Structure 1
Amino acid sequence: MANTLAAPLIDDGLAKRNALLLALAQSFAGGVPPIIFATTSILASVLLVDDKSLATLPVTAFVLGTAIGTLPAGMIMRSFGRRAGLVGALLFGVLCSLLAAYAAYIGSFILLCISTLGSGFVMAFTQQARFAAADTASPAFKPKAISWVLTGGILAGVVGPQTVILTQGMFEPFLFVGTYLAQGVLMLIGLFFVAFLEIPLPPKAEKHERGRPLSEILKQQKFFVAVGCGMISYAIMNLIMTSAPLAMVACGLTNSDAALGIQWHVIAMFAPSFITGSLISRFGHGAVIGAGFLLYAVCALVGLTGLERWIFWSSLILLGLGWNFSFVGASALLTQTYRPEEQNRVQSINDFFVFGLVATASFSSGKLLNVFGWETVNLMVFPFVILCLILVVSLMFTEKREVKV
């Protein structure tokens, strides 16, 4: 009986249903990060008089909030379930959106940062949606379940920036007040779909079983490559994406140009998710992750060629494609490194490492752009691409040796 209790539920039909609901939730609630990335740095640059290099601080606060929320998100979802955790987080996100609107109305940089910190905490829960869809999936369907959820980002990539374009001047002369109110509405729509999730709590025996010591899990080469590539993938994406709107406006382009650039970027981040899971199944995790980092290198090369609008947009599209292959591949690889009773702990640790580094990249982007310029931001990509390609190739060689043995 004990073995029966500890056995996880495997039901690909249920996994498909949950993946669809999570994709729909992601389509709307997932529009919040593009809104924050497209607006807060621009608003902060208006509010800040003395030190414009701090303009990316609200985005850094957002990413820091995500890093802070990763471990609590795992513990709450393990104890109360994925649905309860997501519902509570999205309700809190509505409050954070109202605070952002108030901050924009009174012109408070500090309240703006606090609001984005809270929104980032919410995103720590929604980030785990990609793993939630895989909870009841068979090993063969797990990569597809993860990629299915991320397809919701395609619509989110349109919803978020178009929300900015349509609402930025709604309460003139108070920039983005209407945008942040609309952001709260998007959270509520996402909550509606999340309420219909059916993801069983872990069996009692599994909940009380801690699994292997963390040190043993950390020693796995797959874990090291999955977490390392996931960290660097997200950090590169955030470094360029955070700087791009500021660089575009500084070059004489409009706020709408910047928002549309983010729109095409986010669409590119999630559009390949229709096929990423199948590509992983066919070519392997390492090949897909490696392809993502090669796209990052091309993105940086394009970004170095000029300052025209089409160059910014092309670079951002390549950045999104690179993120999809590298980050989805790393996320799928991570699912091979833990047992069912270890999943929440390992997923939370992974996201903690990922968003800890992303917070550093986000804060550094403002300094890099302000002091050294857009060219330096792009040049920073290449050393990290080389490092990750070395990690991926070493894993692929190891796997080949194991197959021969």
Structure 2
Amino acid sequence: MPAAVPAGALPADVSAVQRRTVLVLASGQVLGGLALGATISLGALLAADISGDDALSGLATASLTLGSAALAVPLAALARRRGRRISLSSGMLIALLGVAVVIAAASVRVFPLLLVGFVLVGSGTAANLQSRFAAADLATDATRGRDLSLVVWATTIGAVLGPNLVGPGEAIGAALGMPPLTGPYVFTIVAQLLAIALYLLALRPDPLVLAAKLRAAVADDAGTRTMTHPDRPALARFAIFAVAASHGVMVAVMAMTPVHLLHHGATLTVIGLTISLHIAGMYALSPVFGVLADRLGRQATIGIGQALLFASLLTAWLWSEVSAAVTVSLILLGLGWSAATVAGSALLTEATTEPLRTRRQGRSDLTMNLVGAAGAVGAGVVLGWIGYSGLALVAMLAVAAVVAGLVLVRRRARHAA
């Protein structure tokens, strides 16, 4: 089956498989988000406690990001060889091992071992990112954005619930004799075990394997394989760039917002609300952008994402001293990221032929994570140099680069036509 087929081209039974696949992947995202939500919320606290230095607390999140980047390509390669079912469950299994290492490191209070554990936990993030591509394996042109966005949206549930389990988790951990700050990982372990079982047992038939088999079976009257879309490497490269640049802008500004607000007198309650609304912007409306990507086109929706990102950065630049304005800016930032990520991921999938798809998808996730890590590090330097308003202006350069790339690919498409 070609990765991109006309609307209505899938047989009824394959359409039913796709609906079931999206449901399984969305359920896995809830479990994965739940597991990682507790992990991320405690990472900085554990790093500061074990290292004895608050300045090293950020290394926990950095290790998670680098782990996700490092494992993105191997997991994509595993999907290419064995299918999504094995790849996704393996990613969660590695993350489960990472949680065990984190708990052991907290017990013996060895900081380097803790960071190794968080690198392994990053495999769970890589698996969660791969899930959105798995939702597109059997999708049609008319539903690819929607199906992909539904899986992205499911992350909202776990991301919201995970941090709220810290209190109950600490009580459970104390009863079990676990090291301080590791009790909530009980929920992480349970969620990851359930996710592994879900992928292994319910993700049947494997969407990537089935897509490859159907693709091989489709032949025209001349006996040659039918390919609805040719491979378009330039368009695929633009999709990777658009997703990575948008992610870098989001991470850079989001990472520095709590520091900026705190330095300007905002309470922890206001900071927490701002970040919560930002996360809601990232995930809650992703199905809307999925539908827009299907109806208006992937490139048009990427353009909408850049407009939202620009509006966010303009707000942060003009009213950086106003807490309410910064909150609005963070909401717009999340919405822009969502539009660009959903549409860019759909564009990458349909711009790439099936034999090359998982390789490019892994490369996209690798690039996305590396740019995010670099954005977080660089944002701290820029914030100290020219402040929050200056950071917003610098981030606008990335938005401008994506818009320029969008204009270029559209111009090339018109000339090719």
Q: TM-score, normalised by structure 2?
A: 0.80
Stretch of structure 1 that moved more, 258-267 or 294-303: 258-267
2:302 matches 1:294: no
Q: Please identify runs of 4+ aligned residues in structure 1 that moved more than 6 A.
A: 7-10, 168-175
Classify 1:204/1:314 alpha carbon distance in 2 versus 1 (closer, same or farther; 3 Å): closer
Q: Tell me which residue corresponds to 1:323.
A: 337
Stretch of structure 1 that moved more, 71-80 or 390-399: 390-399
Post-superposition Cα deviations, 1:9-30, rounded to whole Å, max 9, x if no partner, equal 8722211211111111111212
In 1: Cα distance, 2:166 partner to 2:308 partner: 28
Say whether the 8 Å CA contact 2:301–2:343 is kept in structure 1: yes
Say whether the 8 Å CA contact 1:12–1:141 is kept in structure 2: no
Classify 1:264/1:32 alpha carbon distance in 2 versus 1 (closer, same or farther; 3 Å): farther
Q: Tell me which residue corresponds to 1:191.
A: 196
In 1: Cα distance, 2:326 partner to 2:335 partner: 15
1:326 shift after superposition: 0.8
1:106 shift after superposition: 5.5
Say whether the 8 Å CA contact 1:24–1:152 is kept in structure 2: yes
Amino acid paired to 1:182: F
Say whether the 8 Å CA contact 1:59–1:362 is kept in structure 2: no
> Which structure has the larger Rg over C-alpha atoms?
2
Equivalent of residue 34 in structure 2, options 14, 31, 35:
31
Classify 1:249/1:22 alpha carbon distance in 2 versus 1 (closer, same or farther; 3 Å): farther
Amino acid paired to 2:310: A
Uncovered stretches (5+) of structure 2, i.e. residues with no partner: 217-224
Q: Tell me which residue corresponds to 1:70.
A: 72
Stretch of structure 1 that moved more, 277-286 or 183-192: 183-192
Count residues with an aligned counterpart.
389
1:82 shift after superposition: 1.0
Say whether the 8 Å CA contact 2:33–2:156 is kept in structure 1: no
Say whether the 8 Å CA contact 1:292–1:321 is kept in structure 2: yes
In 2: Cα distance, 1:179 partner to 1:246 partner: 26
Q: Tell me which residue corresponds to 1:236.
A: 249
Amino acid paired to 1:197: L
Q: Tell me which residue corresponds to 2:392.
A: 378
2:162 matches 1:157: no
Pairwise CA RMSD: 3.5
1:360 shift after superposition: 1.9
Amino acid paired to 2:304: A
Q: Tell me which residue corresponds to 2:354.
A: 340
1:377 shift after superposition: 3.6
Classify 1:42/1:271 alpha carbon distance in 2 versus 1 (closer, same or farther; 3 Å): same
SS in 2 for 1:67: helix
1:324 shift after superposition: 0.5
Say whether the 8 Å CA contact 2:30–2:157 is kept in structure 1: yes
Q: Tell me which residue corresponds to 1:281.
A: 294
Q: Tell me which residue corresponds to 2:17.
A: 14
Q: Tell me which residue corresponds to 1:394.
A: 408
Q: Tell me which residue corresponds to 1:83.
A: 85
Say whether the 8 Å CA contact 2:173–2:184 is kept in structure 1: no
1:289 shift after superposition: 0.7
SS in 1 for 2:184: helix
In 1: Cα distance, 2:190 partner to 2:257 partner: 27
In 1: Cα distance, 2:213 partner to 2:368 partner: 28
